[in-house]
Amino acid sequence: MNERLIELTEISPSDLFGSRNANIALLKKFYPKLKIVARGNKLKAFGEPEILDEFEKKIAQLISYLKKYNKLDENSIEQIIISNDKPNKDFKNSDDILVHGVGGKLIRPQSPNQQKMVGLMQKNDMIFAVGPAGTGKTYTAVALAVKALKEKEVKRIILTRPAVESGEKLGFLPGDLKEKLDPYMQPLYDALRDMIPFERLDSYLEKGIIQIAPLAFMRGRTLDNAFVILDEGQNTTHSQMKMFLTRMGKHAKFIVTGDPGQIDLPPRQISGLKEALLALKDVEGIGMIYLNESDVVRHRLVKHIIKAFKRLETD
């Protein structure tokens, strides 16, 4: 009897095997002539070579589906097994869906300006997305980065923020350097956890496929084959913004997000984001999108809060 061993390295075995190996039990019904054994991160099958070839091909398709959609249910397995390799319209991604997130969550632009942001990124290698809190700038940017990584347009994602205090002094926070910096990076972690299953995200972070670091760590680097996001760009100085933008290497995509209304720099310190928006507005290959309160996707009160503060600032 011939044996075929499939080692699962890019997905969580439990996602493929199913709860209490329910998916394996289903596969056994489709391949009654094979002996199928799931153990650890390995899947073994015993049987005739022709059937094993077909089985291995279908397992590869199931893994590919799982990596793309982050879920695998009985209907999906059945359709893939009986598909005869013909495209199934049910598997086609809607044009506006950026990522199939954790648990099959569909992540797509939630407003016209977020949609414009996606369109700008398709036409340019660098964009600036500017607007108040809650308009989805960072979340949409991270979704675009994850999409590019999944589709192998880039080899890594690099997410960075300036570690500027808002109220608390960094030096007085407890813990080592990582523990001090992690709170600044939390919005980036939160977005990634929505879009990439925990075990795969952990693996990406460990291997450096996804890197999250403060802006100071970018100095001296050349960022090739990467999707790079600078979040909270309003808190960069002139030299920091110039340093970051000139890190751009070959086959790279850059997004800078920021809210000029929430600058935490010392008084009389000019924001590098404001300078960049003026200096680069006519540069070909750089896109700029301005989001506003109509793009807010948080609690309905956030929209009213932004409007109220805007009135206060203009009085």
Give the 3-state secondary structure of 265-304.
CCCCCCCHHHHHHHHCCCCCCEEEEECCHHHCCCCHHHHH
pLDDT bucket at 28, cuts 50 / 70 / 90: very high
CATH 3.40.50.300 is right for the domain spanning 99-314 = yes
Q: pLDDT, tens digit, for every residue of 83-115?
A: 765 444 444 444 588 988 887 788 988 888 999
pLDDT of 175? 56
Inter-residue contact 256 to 96 (CB < 8 Å): no
pLDDT of 19? 87
Q: Which of 6-10, 32-36, 151-155 has the lowest mean pLDDT?
A: 6-10
Q: What is the mean pLDDT of residues 6-25?
A: 89
User: Phi and psi dihedrals of 2, rounded to 5?
Assistant: -80, 150
Q: Which of 65-69, 96-100, 200-204, 228-232 has the lowest mean pLDDT?
A: 65-69
Top-confidence residue, 297 or 213: 213
pLDDT bucket at 230, cuts 50 / 70 / 90: very high
Which homologous superfamily is 2-91 in? K Homology domain, type 1 (3.30.1370.10)
Q: What pTM was computed for the model?
A: 0.70
Q: pLDDT, tens digit, for every residue of 149-169?
A: 999 999 999 999 887 644 444
Q: pLDDT, tens digit, for every residue of 127-148?
A: 999 998 889 999 999 999 999 9
**Which element (helix H / strand E) includes 257?**
strand 253-258
Q: What is the mean pLDDT of residues 221-227?
A: 95
Q: What is the mean pLDDT of residues 27-46?
A: 93
Q: Which of 56-65, 78-87, 180-189 has the lowest mean pLDDT?
A: 78-87
Q: What DSSP state is assigned to residue 223?
A: B
pLDDT bucket at 232, cuts 50 / 70 / 90: very high
Q: Is the pLDDT confidence value at 172 over 60? A: no
Q: Tokens for 243, please give them.
A: 């340093």
Q: What is the share, in percent, of the chain residues with pLDDT greater than 70?
A: 89
pLDDT bucket at 72, cuts 50 / 70 / 90: confident
Residues contacting residue 114 through CB under 8 Å, at least 6 positions apart? 135, 136, 140, 291, 295
Helices in the chain by DSSP H: which ranges? 13-17, 22-30, 49-69, 74-81, 112-123, 137-150, 177-195, 198-207, 238-245, 272-279, 300-314
pLDDT mean across residues, the chain: 86
Q: Residue ranges per domain, the chain?
A: 2-91, 99-314
pLDDT bucket at 239, cuts 50 / 70 / 90: very high
Q: What is the mean pLDDT of residues 290-315?
A: 77
Q: Is the pLDDT confidence value at 225 over 70? A: yes
Top-confidence residue, 267 or 228: 228
User: Phi and psi dihedrals of 271, rounded to 5?
Assistant: -70, 130
pLDDT of 268? 84
